[in-house]
Amino acid sequence: MIEFFNTLTGKKEVFKPIKENNVSIYVCGMTVQNRPHLGHMRAYVMADLIRRVFEYNGYTVKMIQNFTDIDDKIIERSREFDMDYRVFGERYIKEYIESSLKMNILEPYYYPRATQHIDEIINLVETLIEKGYAYVIDGDVYYKTAKFKDYGKLSGKKIEDLISGARIEINPKKHDPLDFALWKKAKEGEPYWYSPWGKGRPGWHIECSAMSMKYLGETFDIHAGGTDLIFPHHENEIAQSEAATGKPFANYWIHNEMLRIKGEKMSKSLSNFLAVSDILKKVSPNALRLYYYRTHFRSPLEYDDGSLKEASSSFERMKRFVMENQSGADIDGDLFDELIKNLNNNFNSPKTLGIMFSAIKDANNGIRDKQITANTLRKALEILGFVLEGEKKEEISDKVIDTVVGIRDKMRAEKLFEYADFVRDELKKLNIEILDSKDGTKWRIK
């Protein structure tokens, strides 16, 4: 049984999947206008934790995480850099994927990009116009917010309050200040796609509705993202999707709180910008993961260098204990169950880690068996996504290939070409290519 806090109902609920033993998850991915920073990564480590807990519990997880690769800021910033918006965004997509792989974040089923789903977006906007939830004005299309009676159900905001709180409208084209753009007419020199309303580009909110429903269906299990997206982004996703389909959009919503520096939300507009790839030059991916896990994702996380260093030494302490004491012996079933129980209860990583560290303390004080404790912790660390032997494994497998290639060289020297060719062909099946030359034999992974 997995239970967690659902933003939509405002309470902790037992998870009930749409399809038995399956869970479909959509995570709002990056808008690729800048380098992925520690605030972004918090959301993706949370999503990875959620996914790993579901998989440990026997679920098949289908996770979709998008890239928003067109929006006003991308256009603006790519111009500042005098770059094509696609080339500009691609750098950050690459940087995100590289950092994410280093962090041992499991790859999603697919990383859809907004610009590759323009047809789906246009179809969805057309449906909303047909159903009377959207209107066209001079090449722009707007959503009629007040027509969606459930508007505000995720954020708890009331339409009346929003109306009275709305600022003086700068866009006189909209019928109502609360209406938001589904499609934006292209200004001179901006990237555009053809649509029934003229040349333009999609609004941000409609992209996520179109991409999530394309890959996960009209109703899916879990939608995740940062609390800064609850309003208006996620509220608008619900309004668009439910108005178009007449069905519930996502059954559960999970949000992570913000990472802050000196009380401010980290964002590129503040000068407090910490790129993940820079941080990973200073601390290991394991240390960074532990750093995130020490605070529940539903609590704000205040960044400082000290606590990152502290996470690093904590991880080393945990790793040393496990590596020095692990054996082929049993695990402590009670301790392990306790760890899983806390993960299944709102993905409580800080509590789980707390129990793990106190188990180490007990083992060092002779209260627990060191080997059994180390084996138990090792299993838990793997479920949590930590990598204990990654580098070591890579080093060993390189040495094994060197050895095999060396044996093949000896066969060739003895003119046992048939055997040497057999070895070459077998290695080829493993995508290892042998390159014979005058200077000796080299190999590479294809």
Nearer to Zn ion, 208 or 259 (CB): 208
| Span near Zn ion by CB under 5 A; candidates 27-35, 70-78, 151-159, 371-379 | 27-35
Q: What is the DSSP string of 64-85?
A: EE-BB--SHHHHHHHHHTT--H
| Span near Zn ion by CB under 5 A; candidates 15-23, 25-33, 124-132, 294-302 | 25-33
| Span near Zn ion by CB under 5 A; candidates 24-32, 299-307, 313-321, 417-425 | 24-32
Nearer to Zn ion, 211 or 384 (CB): 211
Nearer to Zn ion, 208 or 244 (CB): 208
**Which of helix, strand or coil describes residue 283?**
coil
How many helices, marked H, and strands, marked E, lie in the chain?
15, 15
Distance of alpha carbon 48 from alpha carbon 70, whole angstroms: 25
Query: Minimal distance in Å, beta carbon 32 to Zn ion?
Result: 13
Nearer to Zn ion, 31 or 100 (CB): 31
Which stretch of DSSP H or E encloses residue 435? strand 432-437
Query: Minimal distance in Å, beta carbon 26 to Zn ion?
Result: 8
Contact status: 27 vs Zn ion (CB under 5 A): no
Query: Minimal distance in Å, beta carbon 417 to Zn ion?
Result: 59
Nearer to Zn ion, 28 or 70 (CB): 28
Q: Are the C-beta atoms of 43 and 266 separated by less than 8 Å?
A: no
Query: Minimal distance in Å, beta carbon 153 to Zn ion?
Result: 17
Token pair, residue 236, equals 């608008």
Q: Are the C-beta atoms of 6 and 253 separated by less than 8 Å?
A: yes
Query: Minimal distance in Å, beta carbon 40 to Zn ion?
Result: 13
CA separation, residue 429 to residues 220, 221, 236, 401, 445 (Å): 39, 39, 49, 13, 11
Nearer to Zn ion, 253 or 321 (CB): 253
Query: Minimal distance in Å, beta carbon 31 to Zn ion?
Result: 9
What amino acid is encoded at 389 in this protein? Answer: E
Selected from 23, 28, 154, 339, the binder of Zn ion by CB under 5 A is: 28
Query: Minimal distance in Å, beta carbon 146 to Zn ion?
Result: 22
Please list every residue from 353 through 412 that binds Zn ion, using CB under 5 A: none
Nearer to Zn ion, 208 or 318 (CB): 208
Q: 251-273 burial, b for 16+ CB within 10 Å, e for fewer?
A: bbbbbbbbbbbeeebbeeeeebb
237: left (phi over 0), alpha (psi -120 to 50) or beta: alpha
Between 207 and 236, how does the x/- string for binding to Zn ion read (CB under 5 A)?
-x----------------------------
Token pair, residue 293, equals 């896990």
How many beta carbons lie within 10 A of that of residue 293, not counting itself? 22
Nearer to Zn ion, 134 or 238 (CB): 238
Between 278 and 317, how does the x/- string for binding to Zn ion read (CB under 5 A)?
----------------------------------------
| Span near Zn ion by CB under 5 A; candidates 20-28, 334-342, 343-351, 365-373 | 20-28
Q: What is the DSSP string of 189-205?
A: TS--B--TT-SEEE-HH
Distance of alpha carbon 287 from alpha carbon 308, whole angstroms: 8
Token pair, residue 358, equals 């106190």
**Which of helix, strand or coil describes residue 439?**
coil
Nearer to Zn ion, 28 or 53 (CB): 28
Q: Are the C-beta atoms of 431 and 397 separated by less than 8 Å?
A: no
Query: Minimal distance in Å, beta carbon 201 to Zn ion?
Result: 16
Query: Minimal distance in Å, beta carbon 49 to Zn ion?
Result: 19
Contact residues for Zn ion, defined by CB under 5 A: 28, 208
